[in-house]
Amino acid sequence: MAIYFCTTLPFLHDIITEKGTGVKDWVPDLGIEEFFTTVNEEGKKRVNGFTSYRTFIYFFLLHLFAAIGWAGWHKDATGKPYKFLLLIPAILTAYTTVIILLDARATQFNEPGTKLFIALMITAILMVIFFVKYFKKQNEK
């Protein structure tokens, strides 16, 4: 059931919102749309930097879907030599999801240089951890 729900995440925006009108009537109003909505200098409403709540939901859930997929593959790869490498895209997609949620897309945190630095640092840290564990296991034999 959880896998079915995860596969519908990129399409959830079609279920709970209507094009041009916002959230459908049957969806309970929890104040989430108003919480993420701001008015810019020109008087236009923006939802975390997106033009509509529907677009925000789509991009957020699409990135969340990718992060869950990478994390799931990492969990499923128990005992595989490439398992530690699966954490790199999992962490980067989770980072992008947080950037979208916090409306930091126009900041330095979303620049390609920052993401490249994060990817390189994650890779270096994971490689060190992998080789320390590998050599420790070799020395125990």
Domain residue spans of the chain: 2-140
Q: Can you give the pTM of this predicted structure?
A: 0.74
pLDDT band at residue 76 under the 50/70/90 scheme: very high
Mean pLDDT value across the chain: 84
Model pLDDT for residues 30-53, shown as the tens digit of each residue: 777 788 887 777 777 777 778 788
Model pLDDT for residues 85-111, shown as the tens digit of each residue: 888 898 899 898 888 888 888 889 888
Q: List, as own/partner pairs, every contact residues 123-132 make where C-beta atoms lie below 8 angstroms and the sequence separation is at least 24, other chains included.
A: 123/88, 126/84, 126/85, 126/87, 126/88, 127/84, 129/84, 130/84
Among 48-52, 55-59, 90-94, 117-121, the least confident range: 48-52
